Structure 1
Amino acid sequence: VGYKECGEYHFEAKKLYAKHFEHSDPKQPKVFISELLVEQCSEELQAIVNDMVDQIDESAVTADNFLYSGTHWQVSSDTYKKLLAESEYAAWMSAWGYRANHFTVSINELAKFDDIESVNQALKDAGFALNTSGGEIKGSPEVLLEQSSTLADDSEVEFSDGKMAVPSCFYEFALRYAKPDGELYTGFVAASADKIFESTNAR
């Protein structure tokens, strides 16, 4: 499909591993895919995740829409809370399943904004809450990437024992700077991405 692997990232405290992929056409979106290193988690979390995976129909895994097919399992709100106590990432996945948890707007492509500060101010003026973990702006021109993000709105999820509102999805905003060769930096900064993950934290 034209994508190639272009970077890998480790988030030891959150027990996450990620890779990003880029298309041969630079106008196509970059893709950032992460996973929870389940084997590094508690036995209780491993058992819950294994039960979730066991509920996935084998045919679903090979379907074209698998990566945006949502949940294939039933979990209770208590199970969600148990996961939440150990891993925000695992809890989010149990509630929402396979889907993108955010999309990123390239500030470089915006006609009315030249810097990330003005984007953030416009978002706040419109009533959006920003992720302030690590500061409203993650990164700097020195690392060739500045990022910010909204906080995920709460949305109701149907758990096996009833409905409960949990954090859903969010938007990220990224401003990329030119490398010495004049080309825009296309990678990601692990320290910044670590804080962006917290946009879906329960509050």
Structure 2
Amino acid sequence: GYLAMGGQIVDATIVAAPKQRNSDAEKADIKAGKVPEAWKNKPDKLRQKDSDARWTVKFSKAKADEEGKTKQRDIAVPAFGYKNHASIDRRHGFIRGWNVTGASAYDGAQLCNVLDKTNTGSTVWADTAYRSKKNEAWLEKNGYRSDIHHKKPKGRPMSDATSRANGRRSKIRAFVEHVFAHQKSRMGLFVRTIGIARARTKIGMANLAYNLTRFVWHQGRTAPA
């Protein structure tokens, strides 16, 4: 069988949804959990409005060249939709735990919601968004070993030892990125439904479909020639 083993790799990705065209007042009501007044007497319009999806900004940091000079600029790209939080086991690469939130939800807050307690390995890999005193304490209390990326010290350069350690972690953590890339490129994952309940079903089915393709891949490796 394919037992969950080898530890867990955690990450999240934004799943796009159709952009909503709302006024500033409507946006404020939605963030406050209210139904805008203009929608209350228009049930047809209300049915077409997704009040659960959220806007967020994806940042891409500019990389320095060999001389240490940054020639490019940081890029900020707005995105609208939901976020698929997931963990995979390192040994087999199956999605073992997942959760769905609005795109603006903080990744680190979902760590305890996606980890698989049945995994025979205790190590957890994740990027810096998941490193916090609260998460580190929770992992230690629940018997996990944190191998989460370390953040750069504020106002100081990162030490060579920490940089090398993060590089080692990145090689392992990259496997979960392949999962999301497969869902978006080969499966064309996009949420066209209204509301988080249906979005959770859609994304959950996509996670299940990925596991099926992963299972077929494993079976093909072990099948006799």
Name the TM-score, length of structure 2 as normaliser.
0.27
Higher RCO (CA < 8 A, seq sep 6+): 2
- Structure with the bigger percentage of strand: 1
Give the greater-gyration-radius structure (CA): 2
Name the TM-score, length of structure 1 as normaliser.
0.29
- Structure with the bigger percentage of helix: 2
